Chains A and B, each alone.
Chain A
Amino acid sequence: EDKVVQSPLSLVVHEGDTVTLNCSYEVTNFRSLLWYKQEKKAPTFLFMLTSSGIEKKSGRLSSILDKKELFSILNITATQTGDSAVYLCAVATGANSKLTFGKGITLSVRP
């Protein structure tokens, strides 16, 4: 059975801190790894990673994938209160669009 594990489960930081969110996976027929941010309802897409070692960056957020060690990290620098959310990691496998999600990491950024 495909498995995605995120850590830590929750995190409290202060504005300006840098955080690293972890995602490891054990799946069959890996295709890509995706990160989402969920604040209220709809998870919003952050990154999709398919190749090892190539960092994806968007503003203060960046992510990288290690396909040998089967994990990914999401970094957020200079955190802001608006970064408070649940961060979801998901893995796409096989020839269809099914995503297997981790349980999510709840990030709280205090002023």
Chain B
Amino acid sequence: KAGVTQTPRYLIKTRGQQVTLSCSPISGHRSVSWYQQTPGQGLQFLFEYFSETQRNKGNFPGRFSGRQFSNSRSEMNVSTLELGDSALYLCASSTDRTEAFFGQGTRLTVV
């Protein structure tokens, strides 16, 4: 069974640009959650999608947005990038309210 796939693995962007990250969950998983991981703050919840609907949202500014498609694949978008957005972005999938399985992450560097 294929795991959670995140693309791209690495990204370098300039301040002010926008970026889109992609996550393909494990087959059959309908819940996809996104997390930001930084050395200072650890893993912080961004948002969760279930059956194409945002079910929960963390305390991040509106520059961070996401969506989920009918095949459960999810994308997250960050607009007007800031240096502080440099982080590892992790996607996790689960069936629903069960253990979450994580992808390898996308390492975003903003310069």
Q: How many residues of B contact A (CB 8 A)?
A: 27
In the bound complex, CA of A31 to CA of B56 (Å): 16
- Label chain B's interface by main secondary structure: strand
Query: With A41-B105, A42-B103, A43-B102 in contact, do A95 and B97 touch (Cβ < 8 Å)?
Result: yes
- Flag whether B100 is at the interface (Cβ < 8 A): yes
When the two chains form their complex, are residues B50 and A42 in contact, meaning their CB atoms are under 8 A apart?
Answer: no
- Flag whether B63 is at the interface (Cβ < 8 A): no
- Flag whether B68 is at the interface (Cβ < 8 A): no
When the two chains form their complex, are residues B101 and A45 in contact, meaning their CB atoms are under 8 A apart?
Answer: yes
When the two chains form their complex, are residues B90 and A97 in contact, meaning their CB atoms are under 8 A apart?
Answer: no
Question: Of B43, B97, B101, which is within 8 A of A96 by CB?
Answer: B97
Residues of A within 8 A of B42 (CB): 88, 101-104
Q: Separation in Å of the B88 CB from the closest CB of chain A?
A: 7
When the two chains form their complex, are residues B104 and A97 in contact, meaning their CB atoms are under 8 A apart?
Answer: no
When the two chains form their complex, are residues B104 and A42 in contact, meaning their CB atoms are under 8 A apart?
Answer: yes
Q: Separation in Å of the B63 CB from the closest CB of chain A?
A: 20
In the bound complex, CA of A14 to CA of B96 (Å): 39
B81-105 Cβ-contact flags toward A at 8 Å (1 or 0): 0000000101010101111111111
Residues of B within 8 A of A43 (CB): 43, 90, 102
Q: Separation in Å of the B105 CB from the closest CB of chain A?
A: 5
Residues of A within 8 A of B75 (CB): none
Residues of B within 8 A of A34 (CB): 99-100
Residues of B within 8 A of A68 (CB): none
Q: Separation in Å of the A23 CB from the closest CB of chain B?
A: 13
Residues of B within 8 A of A45 (CB): 99-101
Interface residues of B (CB under 8 A from A): 4, 31, 33, 35, 42-45, 48, 50, 55-56, 58, 88, 90, 92, 94, 96-105
Question: 4 extra interchain contacts, Cβ-Cβ under 8 A, other than A41-B88, A97-B33, A98-B48?
Answer: A31-B97, A34-B100, A42-B104, A96-B97
Query: Top 5 closest A-B pairs, CB basis?
Result: A101-B43, A103-B42, A42-B102, A97-B31, A41-B104
